[in-house]
Amino acid sequence: MPQGGADDWEGFARAVRTRVGIDLSSYRPVQMQRRVGGLMARARVQRLSDYLTALDGDPEHLTRFRDALTVNVSEFFRSPDRFEELGQVILPKLLAERPALRVWSAGCSYGPEAYSLALLLAELAPHQRHDVLATDIDECALEQAQAANTFTERDLRNVPAHLRHRHFQPGRRTPRPSVRSLVRFQQRDLLDGAPEVDFDLVVCRNVLMYFTPAAKKRAVKVLYDAMRPGGYLFTGSGEALAELPAAGLTPVAVGFYRKEEKHARS
């Protein structure tokens, strides 16, 4: 853990927000302090003020620091049983209402989730102009996602063979242009508000668990506001979010919530 008291940490958090645009106060302090402490140990400094000086003196070090703070753990079809529910139940229901769907992947990391969504849409409703907006706070992760050429076999381990054959370039781990063309990327902090509205499906998995209760409440409102009535929210399987039903989102399956058709928010 970094040396110093609460005032030192708050001052460091303000400096980080100014320099890299990440609001540490929105994340659980124990998790963030542990992560920063590990970075400081590798930099061989003990005080937050000294670490901030080191960051200011090396732009590349500052970039690595920003990348280390953002959570970039992902893979195609992460939690395959939940994606099976999505592909066999949720998406067919939505496609029965609209032939072309609008999807928001919030916290898309380096792209596997966004391309998984596009792949399912291309499989279930080919020749439709679906729209998948993928956002993340990490600019470097987004550049990697747009390139779509650095995926590993581990990233693709949950992709069924028949889908890999149809939707990936032969002999490569890169999605075909027909899949990539459905996805557009945008750098954005989830807590800054919804980038657009009227999404049929909003996917925000394994992101909310890192927020403080106050920040999580803000994030849930952002996700809610982005969805159309009757749309769905897809969260991480381990994210038990008791506040969602009260927010006008009804649980329909593990990790899935439906926005009520008529719900007056306060």
Write the pLDDT tens digit of every residue in 50-63: 988 988 888 877 87
Read off φ and ψ for residue 80, nearest 5 degrees. Answer: -55, -35
Q: Which amino acid is at 107?
A: G
In this model, does residue 1 exceed pLDDT 60? no
Question: Up-side HSE of residue 234: CA atoms within 13 Å toward CB?
Answer: 27
Contact present, 26 and 215 (Cβ < 8 Å)? yes
Task: Give pLDDT tens digits for 183-215.
Answer: 999 999 999 999 999 999 999 998 888 888 888
In the chain the first and final C-alpha atoms are separated, in Å, by 40
Domain of 12, in residue numbers: 6-69
Name the residue with tokens 């920063």.
36
Indicate whether 142 and 28 sit together in one domain. no
Name the residue with tokens 């390139």.
147
Q: What is the pTM of this model?
A: 0.81
Q: Measured between alpha carbons, how far is 218 from 211 in angstroms, rounded to an integer?
A: 10
Q: Measured between alpha carbons, how far is 261 from 12 in angstroms, rounded to an integer?
A: 44
Indicate whether 121 and 190 sit together in one domain. yes
Higher pLDDT, 119 or 7: 119
Task: Look at phi and psi of residue 153 and say left if phi exceeds 0, alpha if psi is from -120 to 50, else beta.
Answer: alpha
pLDDT, average across residues 233-255: 78
In this model, does residue 67 exceed pLDDT 60? yes
Sign for the pseudo-dihedral over CA of 30, 35, 41, 46 = negative
Name the residue with tokens 């992760």.
141
Higher pLDDT, 221 or 7: 221
In this model, does residue 263 exceed pLDDT 70? no
Indicate whether 168 and 249 sit together in one domain. yes
pLDDT score, position 39: 83
Q: Tally the domains of the chain.
A: 2
Domain presence at residue 264: no
Indicate whether 44 and 95 sit together in one domain. no
Higher pLDDT, 49 or 88: 88
Indicate whether 98 and 172 sit together in one domain. yes
Q: Measured between alpha carbons, how far is 122 from 97 in angstroms, rounded to an integer?
A: 17
Of 19, 49, 69, which one is at a domain's C-terminal end?
69
Confidence bin at 16 (pLDDT 50/70/90)? confident
Both tokens assigned to 256:
């899935």
Indicate whether 239 and 162 sit together in one domain. yes
pLDDT score, position 264: 42
